[in-house]
């Protein structure tokens, strides 16, 4: 299915009915839209699965519809989080259709045709990533976009240029494409047109994002984590009712911090930003955009390197410790999150 999780289809969706499937969360990881990286992070898949399930169940208690059907236990039964006796990396979900936009080059531009998305389409993924930002930690894409002139402080409703680590007085909602070769930030007006959303549906998308943001913030606070930013994905069911899909509230979908220290996939991103491979990736993306080359990855000749073994152990423990403390269950036998963070600080100091 993707670079991080696999999909087992039990019943295929149709144009009028949802299907049934299982997400199998792997220990693979991905950064910078590259896809599968060359090593594995043990325990990551099960940690993501349990964090996501826990957040889905909390959202459903608030009346938010999701595609979550339950966790699959060791006996193959679909159960709720409270019924699980040992870690699981498998989640049962309702499935919808995914319609990828048609891509073509017109003149000097790559055009993505979203013509199949209309207000009559049902049982389908909305082709957008919906993003909330409660803060602007180091590594936030906001700073790069400001530097490149792709957005202004007025777009952020700020009266000053922000600094890394700044907290926002109210969340900023952002949106990007989901089904293109590289995620592309768009305006809300562009997003509405692309996805074929009515004004009411667009308002409902933003309302769902606000509830998801608050729910994730509450769950993360159990682990003393600050919910800096994150993303959700949405779909329409067979009645064209909005529902949350994929997974949310995890260290891959969100950027959490613990007393200013990153506790998310950002830890791996920061490691790779110091490599020659990352420099080449960024150059390839720029060249592909300038020359209208759809597959920017083909321009990268340097192989993606593995994580430093010592850092990989820290990241492994970070995922599992965060899952333990966010859910309030000691499912994984790893050090407490505060001790993992302490080890990471020592590691980072040694690298400077």
Contact 284, 296 (CB under 8 A): yes
pLDDT of residue 294: 82
Q: Is the pLDDT of residue 184 over 70?
A: yes
- Give the strand pairing for 102-106 and 68-72: unpaired
Q: What is the distance, to the nearest Å, from the Cα of residue 286 to the centroid of all Cα atoms in its chain? A: 23
Find the domain containing 228 and state its range.
5-351
CATH classification at residue 46? 3.30.470.20
pLDDT tier at 1 (50, 70, 90 boundaries)?
Answer: low
DSSP notation for 289-300: HHHT-S-GGGG-
Statement: residue 41 has pLDDT above 90: yes
The percent of residues above 90 in pLDDT, for the chain, comes to 84
pLDDT at 17 over 80: yes
> pLDDT tens digits for 211-264?
999 999 999 999 999 999 999 999 999 999 999 999 999 999 999 999 999 999
pLDDT on residue 108: 76
What's residue 318's pLDDT? 98
CB 274 within 8 A of CB 308: no
Mean pLDDT of the chain: 94
pLDDT of res. 137: 86
Per-residue confidence (pLDDT) for residue 109, from 0 to 100: 81
Q: What angle do CA 109, 111, 117 make, to 5 degrees?
A: 165
Mean pLDDT across 319-344: 96
Count of the separate structural domains present in the chain: 1
Give 340-346 contacts, CB < 8 A, sequence gap 24+.
340/314, 341/258, 341/259, 341/261, 341/263, 343/314, 343/317, 344/261, 344/267, 344/314, 344/318, 345/261
Number of alpha carbons in the 13 Å side-chain half-sphere of residue 330: 4
More confident residue, 166 or 20: 20
Confidence band for 12, pLDDT divided at 50, 70 and 90 = very high
For the stretch 57-88, pLDDT in tens is 999 999 999 999 999 999 999 999 999 999 99
Residue 132 pLDDT class (50, 70, 90 cuts): very high
- Rounded to whole angstroms, the Cα distance separating 70 from 54 reads 10
Q: Round to whole Å and give the CA distance between 344 and 121.
A: 47
Q: Is the pLDDT of residue 344 over 90?
A: yes
pLDDT band at 316 (very low <50, low <70, confident <90, very high): very high
Task: State how far Cα 115 lies from the chain centre.
Answer: 26
pTM summary value? 0.91
Q: Give dist(CA 16, CA 12) in Å, integer.
A: 11
- DSSP code, position 83: G
What pLDDT does residue 305 have?
Answer: 97
């Amino acid at each position: 299915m993707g670079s991080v999780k696999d999909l087992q289809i039990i019943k295929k969706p149709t144009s009028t009915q949802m299907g049934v499937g299982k997400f199998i969360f792997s220990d693979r990881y991905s950064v910078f839209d590259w896809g599968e990286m060359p090593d594995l992070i043990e325990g990551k898949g099960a940690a993501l699965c349990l964090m996501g399930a826990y957040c889905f169940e909390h959202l459903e208690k608030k009346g938010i519809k999701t595609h979550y059907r339950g966790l699959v236990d060791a006996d193959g039964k679909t159960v709720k989080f409270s019924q699980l006796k040992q870690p699981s990396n498998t989640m049962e979900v309702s499935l919808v259709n995914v319609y990828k936009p048609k891509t073509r080059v017109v003149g000097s531009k790559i055009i993505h045709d979203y013509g199949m998305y209309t207000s009559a389409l049902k049982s389908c993924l909305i082709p957008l990533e919906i993003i909330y930002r409660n803060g602007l930690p180091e590594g936030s894409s906001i700073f790069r976009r400001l530097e490149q002139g792709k957005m202004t402080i007025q777009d952020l409703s700020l009266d000053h240029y922000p600094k890394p680590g700044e907290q926002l007085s109210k969340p900023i909602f952002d949106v990007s494409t989901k089904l293109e070769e590289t995620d592309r930030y768009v305006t809300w007006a562009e997003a509405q047109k692309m996805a074929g959303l009515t004004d009411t549906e667009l308002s409902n998308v933003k309302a769902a994002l606000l509830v998801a943001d608050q729910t994730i913030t509450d769950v993360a606070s159990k682990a003393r984590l600050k919910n800096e930013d994150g993303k959700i994905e949405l779909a329409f069911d067979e009645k064209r009712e909005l529902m949350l899909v994929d997974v949310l509230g995890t260290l891959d979908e969100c950027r959490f911090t613990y007393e200013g220290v990153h506790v998310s996939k950002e830890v791996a991103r920061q490691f790779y930003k110091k490599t020659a491979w990352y420099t080449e990736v960024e150059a390839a993306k720029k060249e592909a955009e300038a020359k209208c080359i759809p597959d920017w990855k083909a321009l990268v000749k340097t192989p993606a390197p593995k994580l430093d073994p010592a850092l990989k152990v820290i990241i492994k423990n970070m995922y599992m410790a965060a899952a333990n403390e966010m859910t309030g269950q000691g499912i994984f036998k790893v050090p407490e999150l505060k001790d993992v963070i302490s080890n990471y600080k020592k590691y980072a100091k040694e690298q400077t």
